[in-house]
Chains A and B, each alone.
Chain A
């Protein structure tokens, strides 16, 4: 019709956009109430302390096929652990269980003002250590497998360095270890952040502030294009359900305990003490060379929160001789919810754990 613009196509796109939006709004009203089938793999609370709970997932294989060394998963303090069980057909936890792993998981809960004085010492030497001791006692064993995710991976690495006798195998996923670079905006910003002032002002740092920082990392794609893209697909009920699950999870950020985040930012982001061998937890110095257990270090190639260089550094710092690094072409969250997660990532981790637990 004219050389410059395809008016008809442009208008057709707009019409389709509006139609999809209306169908999507209808779909939105028909979504189920409650937790949207998230975090539904059967489990029970076997131990708790303050706001922390230790879950034990119900085994999904015969006892003879069950891995003899239980696996404890430690998630980050930011965001919630149900990311690993966010949708029934793409649940990392469920996949672990189906392959015969005996899974325990720590839920840190939602800290409030009364928790403001908890330190990294309390989390690692306190809660984590008590969970490990509980699992050992319940199973009458001397060692467990430990898998840490993101900040939970940093905690797990520190724990393994402090209690090497308790850990048979260590798996770290998208874990920040070397904080010296500025390859991620969070790393760069943290170095100029006066965390002492923030902790003094808030006591516990509101989760909303954390969310705001994450949303700024990709300002247009996370704040606009994501929702424009949603309209294109919201007539698909299943897609809409999964989208809403992610929205709920992304915005479900617990407040951050003041003294813990103070030490994490000052000692790690700013001073990089873990790598330098200067980090002190409680009254003990953390020496990564104490880690002798086999190590599987898993990172995401397109991680915008934890740069691959930060994760990769771990293998050269530990004392383990059996150590492996693997990467996948996914982002930080894609590690748990992408199609690769089910097809490649989870099977690889499971087979490594089973192989090393014989």
Chain B
């Protein structure tokens, strides 16, 4: 009961502080817009900009305050894990919603952008952020144990895009084709990204892939080979993930460009969404259709299959390596357990067949039909 009172009080306090912030923001906003009207300066875009800025500031500060100070406390009051999970998903969606609002703000603020240069400027400015939004919804929905791997892997797409330092630098310098594609990536050619990963894959197979697959020598030959194969399968998995993710990246950017153009057309026709909610509806439906179109292509299906296969290859090899490393410990391995499971399974089947035979015989005896 006390807990419930606490959470209620906290909720009320949060609401009060939010209302105070809101009232202040709203008053400022109204006075700004009244001034515009009073002075006869229509400046609708500026009114919108001020409103939007105020809203974004308000949302950011409230959201941050909530996430940092209140959320951990609030979470403890939830009865079980499902409610906590739901809360997490709510805040992830909320965060996407906020980012999208900023995008809408920029879009509206900079209208009209009727020249290709202006459109390019806006899309360039938003490209990475927009992909981040997509990433935001893809990754938090992954199972907990896959999040870290996926986050790490999607970060690599940025690394690959720059690709100017580290171990691969000399490799790049020697690969004219890659350099050419890379420069096209830098210019924003979306198709080039997918070509880039295909070339990476080929180059890898012809260079590092060979090193990882050289036969081992001496006493530790088996361990060496397994370790190398495990590295090899990891690199191939990362490449295939990025190959797949490059399609997602491409569609994200294209959809953003499409939305920008769509917005411009609506602007010209005087039919732009009047509220953020209307814009949000257009945004998610346009994206949903774009991604379903992508997921329906044979190319995506093939790459998705390849990605899962490479991931499984990596898992099989790293499990094997791990088992080898743990061999000296007094623990049964997965392989040992599998052997046991198989024996139990086979014996259960046999018992079942024998039981059936016994019952059939009993039935035959009861019916007096047994042959002697």
Chain A residues near B (Cβ < 8 Å): 1-7, 9-11, 13-15, 18-19, 21-22, 25-26, 28-33, 113-114, 116-118, 122, 126, 185, 188-189, 191-194, 197-198, 200-203, 206, 208-209, 211-212, 215-221, 223-228, 230-231, 244, 247-248, 251
Contact = CB atoms under 8 A, between A and B. Distances in A.
B304 interface: yes
Given A22-B14, A28-B86, A227-B89, 13 more contacts: A1-B33, A4-B44, A10-B277, A11-B51, A25-B87, A31-B83, A117-B341, A188-B296, A194-B305, A202-B315, A218-B292, A226-B93, A227-B93
A117 to B, nearest CB: 4
Given A25-B11, A113-B337, A33 B288 contact: no
Interface stretch (B122-130, B137-145, B213-221): B137-145
Given A22-B15, A26-B8, A13 B275 contact: yes
Contacts of A9: 274-275
Interface in B312-353: 312-313, 315-316, 319, 334, 337-338, 341-342, 344-345, 349, 352
Contact of A189 (B11, B285, B304, B319): B304
Interface of B: 4, 7-8, 11, 14-15, 18, 22, 26, 29, 33, 36-37, 42, 44-45, 47-48, 51, 55, 59, 62, 74, 77-80, 82-83, 85-87, 89-90, 92-94, 96-97, 108, 137-138, 141-143, 145-146, 270, 272, 274-277, 280, 284-285, 287-288, 291-292, 295-296, 301-302, 304-306, 308-309, 311-313, 315-316, 319, 334, 337-338, 341-342, 344-345, 349, 352
B174 to A, nearest CB: 33
Nearest to A198: B312
Nearest to B289: A220
A142 to B, nearest CB: 15
Given A19-B15, A197-B313, A218-B292, A228 B93 contact: yes
Contacts of A19: 15
A192 B44 contact: no
B344 A114 contact: yes
Contacts of B342: 117
B7 to A, nearest CB: 5
A343 to B, nearest CB: 29
Contact of A5 (B44, B94, B349): B44
Given A7-B48, A29-B77, A224 B137 contact: yes
A4 B108 contact: yes
Nearest to B319: A201
B87 A28 contact: yes
Contacts of A6: 274-275
A211 B89 CA distance: 15
A234 B74 CA distance: 16
Contacts of B62: 18
A230 B86 CA distance: 10
A91 B349 CA distance: 37
Given A15-B22, A188-B296, A10 B274 contact: yes
5 smallest A-B Cβ distances: which pairs?
A192-B305, A208-B143, A2-B44, A227-B93, A201-B312
Nearest to B281: A225
B319 to A, nearest CB: 8
Given A5-B108, A191-B301, A208-B143, A29 B4 contact: yes
Contacts of A117: 341-342, 345
User: Chain A interface secondary structure, helix, strand, loop or mixed?
Assistant: helix
A193 B292 contact: no
Contacts of B341: 113-114, 116-117
A221 B284 CA distance: 7
Contact of B308 (A29, A193, A227): A193
Contacts of A215: 141
B90 A2 contact: no
A194 B309 CA distance: 6
Contacts of A192: 301-302, 304-306
Given A31-B79, A201-B315, A224-B96, A25 B74 contact: yes
B313 A230 contact: no
A197 B82 CA distance: 32
Nearest to A125: B352
B86 A247 contact: yes
A348 to B, nearest CB: 31
Contacts of B296: 185, 188
Contact of A223 (B26, B29, B137): B137
A324 to B, nearest CB: 32
A228 B97 contact: yes
Given A26-B7, A201-B315, A188 B18 contact: no
B80 A33 contact: yes
A22 B74 CA distance: 11
A247 B88 CA distance: 13
A226 B96 CA distance: 13
Contacts of B33: 1-2, 7
**Which among A9, A11, A218, A224 has the highest number of chain B CB atoms within 10 Å?**
A224
A181 to B, nearest CB: 12
Contacts of B82: 244, 247-248, 251
A189 B312 contact: no
Contacts of B92: 227
Contacts of A231: 90, 93-94
A10 B287 CA distance: 22
A60 B308 CA distance: 48
B18 A230 contact: no
A330 B283 CA distance: 25
A27 B69 CA distance: 20
Nearest to A121: B349
A203 B338 contact: yes
A28 B305 CA distance: 39
A220 to B, nearest CB: 4
Contacts of A206: 143
Contacts of A33: 79-80
Given A5-B274, A224-B93, A197 B312 contact: yes
Contact of B142 (A26, A212, A251): A212
